[in-house]
Structures are given as structure tokens and as C-alpha cells.
């Protein structure tokens, strides 16, 4: 059985359409951890202050969960558990102040702690309250706080775990989730050399099993069953070839994101600025070299001790004054993902302990996304955007005018001229 599971993992890792390659190794996945943590801190702050409200729609929690749900495949539908069902009065954390505070305490404890014992103890505390409708779907929030402690959770993951282990875990109860978590940790320890300390990897494997992309190895020692299972694996490989066109389109999205970063890099250099490229994008291929070629290798003023420094170093492109090393402008390229993470990184830059008098904060996105971005900025979680004067820079204007700006422009004025103010209505 061990050999069969190892074979399964190896084939799954090589599958370009499986969650390992399409989600777990996705660069944008790591960028979202900081912003989701920041969002959960906002939820706790509002609950503590009594300003969270009595509805899911429009709340800071909706903003965070929406950001999680837009993570590819595995978290699709993550918001269903938190949607207010008025007829059932669940989940009972909106109209019940005591339950809402208990939920805030769970998040606050998990934000502050860093051990298995503390996290599990906090779960037992919330479970003891028996809050109607508030079950282990919350683990999807906790995963982004403690990815090496808490595995993600949904129906497909439970089904995948049962199929792989022969268990009969049920959905919806914390005690079942914690028991499954122990089994997942043991599985992950056995195959860690093929997986990761980050439990998102094994969560993705279980998701692909439970959603039907892969069939679990036969539990019994039966030659016929093994051959049937190997035939299923072969069929998945053929199916992956048919999905190549979809994956090519997704890679084109990533390529476009890199292309826009390259335009901004070159434009910044032409205008006389030093340029910083997001830390995890430095080595991306661009033209005949790397995206980070000719750019700063260290971001001045942001050490590992600086609050929010990790988030700031993930901003897609920064322009810095060459003499003072002051950050002049920040650009977040949002091709198809939620704008939430980019906004949070800008907040960390503009409002953090090393806050600087920025001349420009820009969301760079396709022309057709401007209406959607304006709509999202109406959320309460983005109330500080009006103060920051974030602007919308459309791809079309950047493509059309960047050559002229590079040749004749000076400072940020020409870039501001082709962008639009994003003050919420």
C-alpha cells in the first residue's frame, strides 16, 4: 500500500492540471498569506470594538473569505459556510453578540499563538460553545494562519481522506476534523519527502482524490484491483493532455502579469528611478533575461524586523528615488485575481512603521476591470483607500503611452495623467 501511495503522489506531482502544480506551486498563493492574516486581524478588531455588524455581506469577514475562495480550485466555494442563512439562523455569529465575540476570540488566539497545543485548545473552546452552523469550515481560515499546523477542509478533502485511508470521517463536526487532522499529519510525515511541511500540499492531494480526478489505491492486496487502479491513473494522464489548452490560457495570464511588471520596470529605469521587483518574482524569465535584472537586490529601509516588511517586499513593482532611496511609487498588477491582497500590501507600505510620503499608489489592471475594482473598493475593509489616493492604471493606457513617457516624461506626473483616481463613491 505504501508503494502505491508513493506512486500516486509522484504521478500527481507531475500532473500539470493537478492542484500541486496549478495551485500549490502557484506564485500568487504565497502572496496571499500575509494579506489574509491582515484581514483576519481586521475582523478581530471590529468584533472587539463592537463594529463588526450583524451581516456577512459587506463585512470584513466577507472580504477575507472572498479572497480565500478565489484561490484556485481547492478553496472554491469556501464562502458558502459563512453566508448568512436567515431561515436557519446560521452561522450564528452575526446576530448573537456572545457567539460573535467567541468567534473573534478564536481568531485572535490563533493569530497570536504558534503551537499545535494552543491552536487545538482554541478549537476545543469554540467547539464547547456549540455555535450553530460554525463548524470546521473555519479551518480554511486557520490554514492561512498556520499552514504547517492546520490542513484545509472541505467535502472533497474529507472524501479523499476516507478513500485513501478507508476511514469514515463525517463532515461538519470539529471532533471529526481534529481526528482527520491527526491522520493527515501522520500521512504527511510518512511522505514528507514528496510533499511539504505546508499542509496545503497533502490537502491538495486529498482534494484531487475526493473530487474524482484521481482514484485512491485499492485498500486490499488484490492484483485485479491494482490493475484497474493503474488503468485509472493512465486515464488521468490522457485527460491532462486534453486540458493543456486551459492551462496554456492560465499561463498566458501569468505571462501577462510578468509582461506588465517588465513594462513598469523598464519605464521606471527610463524615468531615472531605482526599481524593486517583488521578491518572489526576481527570477521570472523576461525577454532575454530575468525580471529582476538591473533592479535592487535589497529593499532599503525594510529589514526583517520592520513591521509589514515581508508584505511590502511582495509588492509587484516599486520605484525609488536614486539619491534618497525613498519609495516614490508602488504598483500592484491585478490581472485576474482579487484586488484584496494588493491593497493590503499597499496599506502595509503606506501605513506601516516605515511609512513614507508616497507620490503614487497604482492598481494596474485590464481596462475592463475598472468597474469591478471600483465596486470592490466600496467594501468597509477598504475604507482607508480614499486617504491613500490609490489610482487605477489601465493596461491599454500603459501600453499606448509608455514609450512616449519613457522618452519625454519626467517624474510621476505623466503616469498620474494616464491613470484614474479610485476614491470610493
- What does the pLDDT look like over 280-308, one tens digit per residue? 889 888 888 999 999 999 998 876 666 66
Q: Are 143 and 199 in contact (CB under 8 A)?
A: yes
pLDDT band with cut points at 50, 70 and 90 for residue 64: confident
C-alpha cell at 93: 455569529
* Mean per-residue pLDDT of the chain: 86
Cell numbers 524569465 correspond to what residue?
285
pLDDT at 240: 64
pTM of this prediction? 0.74
Band of residue 204 on the pLDDT scale cut at 50, 70, 90: very high
**Mean of pLDDT values over 198-204:** 96
What are 383-410's pLDDT values in tens digits?
Answer: 666 677 788 999 999 999 999 999 999 9
Distances, alpha carbon 376 to alpha carbons 70, 323, 407, in Å: 14, 37, 35
3-class SS of residue 407: helix
Q: With 0-12 CB in 10 A as exposed, 13-18 as middle and 19+ as buried, what is 72?
A: middle
- Answer for the pair 276, 296: CB distance below 8 angstroms, yes or no: yes
292 three-state secondary structure: coil
Torsion angle of C-alpha atoms 18, 137, 107, 387, degrees rounded to 10: 70
The radius of gyration of the chain from alpha carbons, rounded to an integer in Å, stands at 23
pLDDT at position 425? 44
Amino acid at each position: 500500500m505504501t508503494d502505491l501511495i508513493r506512486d500516486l503522489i509522484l504521478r500527481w506531482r507531475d500532473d500539470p492540471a493537478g492542484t500541486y502544480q496549478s495551485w500549490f506551486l502557484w506564485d500568487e498563493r504565497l502572496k496571499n498569506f500575509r494579506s489574509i492574516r491582515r484581514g483576519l486581524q481586521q475582523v478581530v478588531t471590529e468584533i472587539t470594538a463592537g463594529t463588526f455588524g450583524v451581516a456577512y455581506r459587506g463585512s470584513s469577514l466577507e472580504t477575507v473569505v472572498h479572497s480565500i475562495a478565489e484561490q484556485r480550485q481547492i478553496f472554491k466555494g469556501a464562502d458558502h459556510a459563512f453566508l448568512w442563512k436567515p431561515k436557519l439562523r446560521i452561522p450564528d455569529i452575526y446576530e448573537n453578540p456572545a457567539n460573535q465575540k467567541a468567534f473573534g476570540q478564536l481568531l485572535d488566539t490563533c493569530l497570536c499563538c504558534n503551537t499545535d497545543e494552543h491552536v487545538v485548545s482554541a478549537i476545543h473552546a469554540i467547539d464547547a460553545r456549540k455555535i450553530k452552523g460554525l463548524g470546521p469550515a473555519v479551518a480554511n481560515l486557520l490554514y492561512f494562519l498556520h499552514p504547517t499546523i492546520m490542513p484545509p477542509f472541505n467535502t472533497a478533502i474529507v472524501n479523499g481522506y476516507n478513500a485513501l485511508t478507508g476511514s469514515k470521517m463525517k463532515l461538519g463536526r470539529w471532533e471529526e476534523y481534529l481526528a482527520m487532522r491527526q491522520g493527515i499529519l501522520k500521512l504527511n510525515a510518512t511522505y514528507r519527502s514528496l510533499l511539504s511541511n505546508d499542509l496545503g500540499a497533502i490537502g491538495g492531494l486529498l482534494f484531487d482524490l475526493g473530487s474524482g480526478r484521481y482514484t485512491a489505491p485499492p485498500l486490499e492486496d488484490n492484483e485485479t484491483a491494482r490493475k484497474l487502479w493503474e488503468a485509472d491513473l493512465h486515464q488521468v494522464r490522457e485527460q491532462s493532455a486534453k486540458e493543456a489548452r486551459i492551462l496554456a490560457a492560465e499561463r498566458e495570464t501569468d505571462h501577462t502579469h510578468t509582461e506588465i511588471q517588465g513594462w513598469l520596470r523598464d519605464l521606471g529605469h527610463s524615468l531615472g528611478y531605482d526599481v524593486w521587483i517583488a521578491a518572489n518574482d526576481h527570477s521570472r524569465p523576461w525577454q532575454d533575461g530575468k525580471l529582476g535584472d538591473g533592479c535592487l537586490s535589497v529593499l532599503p529601509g525594510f529589514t526583517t524586523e520592520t513591521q509589514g516588511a515581508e508584505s511590502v517586499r511582495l509588492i509587484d513593482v516599486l520605484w525609488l528615488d536614486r539619491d534618497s532611496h525613498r519609495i516614490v511609487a508602488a504598483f500592484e498588477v491585478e490581472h485576474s485575481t482579487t484586488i484584496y491582497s494588493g491593497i493590503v500590501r499597499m496599506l502595509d507600505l503606506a501605513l506601516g512603521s516605515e511609512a513614507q510620503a508616497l507620490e503614487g499608489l497604482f492598481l494596474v489592471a485590464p481596462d475592463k476591470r475598472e468597474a469591478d475594482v471600483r465596486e470592490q473598493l466600496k467594501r468597509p475593509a477598504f475604507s482607508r483607500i480614499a486617504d491613500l489616493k490609490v489610482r487605477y492604471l489601465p493596461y491599454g493606457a500603459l501600453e499606448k503611452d509608455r514609450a512616449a513617457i519613457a522618452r519625454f516624461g519626467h517624474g510621476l506626473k505623466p503616469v498620474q495623467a494616464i491613470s484614474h483616481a479610485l476614491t470610493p463613491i
